[in-house]
C-alpha cells in the first residue's frame, strides 16, 4: 500500500467516527479553503518555503534562515488544544 492509499484509509477511518453534522462542517471548511484560493496558494512538491520566524517549545524565536545555514531542516507543526 502506497502513502496515498494509507492516508486515504486513515481519512476514511476518521470520517467514519464523525457524525453527519461534523462531516458536513468539515466538508464546508474544506470547500471554503478551495473557494478562497488557499488550496491554489499552498506549497507544492518542489516549492521552497518562504523565510519565517517562529517560537519554539522553549519560547525562543527560531528563524528558518538560521537553521538552513546549518543544513537541511524539518518543520513539524503540532495542532490541537493542550
% of the chain exceeding 90 in pLDDT: 61
Q: How many domains does the structure of the chain reveal?
A: 1
Q: Which of 51, 47, 56 is nearest to 66 (CA)?
A: 51
Query: Is 73 a member of any domain?
Result: no
80 in a structural domain = no
Structure confidence at residue 82 (pLDDT): 57
State how far the Cα of 34 lies from the Cα of 30, in Å rounded to an integer. Answer: 6
Instruction: Kindly state whether residue 78 falls inside one of the protein's structural domains.
Output: no
Average pLDDT estimate for 52-71: 94
Residue 78 has pLDDT above 80, yes or no: no
Residue range of the domain that includes 38 = 3-68
- Average pLDDT of every residue of the chain: 90
Q: 52 lies in a domain? A: yes
**Computed from CA positions of residues 19, 7, 75, 48, in that sequence, does the dihedral angle turn out positive or negative?**
negative
Q: Domain for residue 32, yes or no? A: yes
Amino acid at each position: 500500500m502506497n502513502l496515498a492509499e494509507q492516508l486515504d484509509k486513515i481519512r476514511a477511518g476518521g470520517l467514519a467516527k464523525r457524525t453527519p453534522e461534523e462531516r458536513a462542517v468539515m466538508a464546508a471548511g474544506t470547500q471554503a479553503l478551495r473557494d478562497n484560493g488557499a488550496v491554489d496558494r499552498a506549497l507544492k512538491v518542489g516549492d521552497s518555503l518562504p523565510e519565517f520566524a517562529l517560537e519554539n517549545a522553549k519560547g525562543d524565536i527560531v528563524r528558518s534562515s538560521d537553521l538552513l545555514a546549518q543544513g537541511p531542516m524539518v518543520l513539524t507543526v503540532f495542532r490541537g488544544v493542550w
